[in-house]
Amino acid sequence: MADTNTSPEQKRNLAENKPALVKVRYAVVGLGYITQIAVLPAFKHAHDNSELVALVPGDEEKRRKLVTKYKVNKTFGYERYADCLASGDIDAVYIALPNNMHRAHSEGAARLGFRSSLYRSCQSGIGGS
């Protein structure tokens, strides 16, 4: 039985008894240099199994530029990250933020059961910060 997070394409495949073509729907958090030169362009090569659904930028100018370039309809600023996770539109997050922001964003995703990928490992130190 299809749940509310099933894409229209997946619902059609289920109705027609076709094998489900499951694409992981991603939100990319952070739109810095690495995201722009490596992460976002990689979605063009992963179109069979991945879909770029949402951007979570900290910079409005980057948001405007990249939404148009990558044809992404959903954006959430850093302050609305929880809304992105709760939207039902994503399956996983790619976190490409400065190290000191990794922990909060990855823990938020993990608490809700999302898969996440970090550009670098979480920063740790005295007191677990």
Mean pLDDT, 10 residues at a time, over the chain (129 residues)?
58 64 89 93 90 94 94 93 91 85 74 63 46
HSE at residue 64, side-chain half, CA atoms within 13 A, is: 2
Structure confidence at residue 7 (pLDDT)? 64
Among 22, 14, 31, 21, residue whose Cα is nearest residue 92? 22
Structure confidence at residue 113 (pLDDT)? 73
Element housing 44 (H / E): helix 40-45
Structure confidence at residue 125 (pLDDT)? 46
Structure confidence at residue 22 (pLDDT)? 82
**DSSP bridge partners of 27:** 54, 93
Structure confidence at residue 51 (pLDDT)? 94
As a three-state string, the secondary structure of 53-96 is EEEECCCHHHHHHHHHHHCCCEECCHHHHHHHHHCCCCCEEEEC
> Which pTM value belongs to this model?
0.72
The residue written with tokens 């992105």 in the block is: 84
Enumerate domains of the chain plus CATH numbers.
22-121 (3.40.50.720)
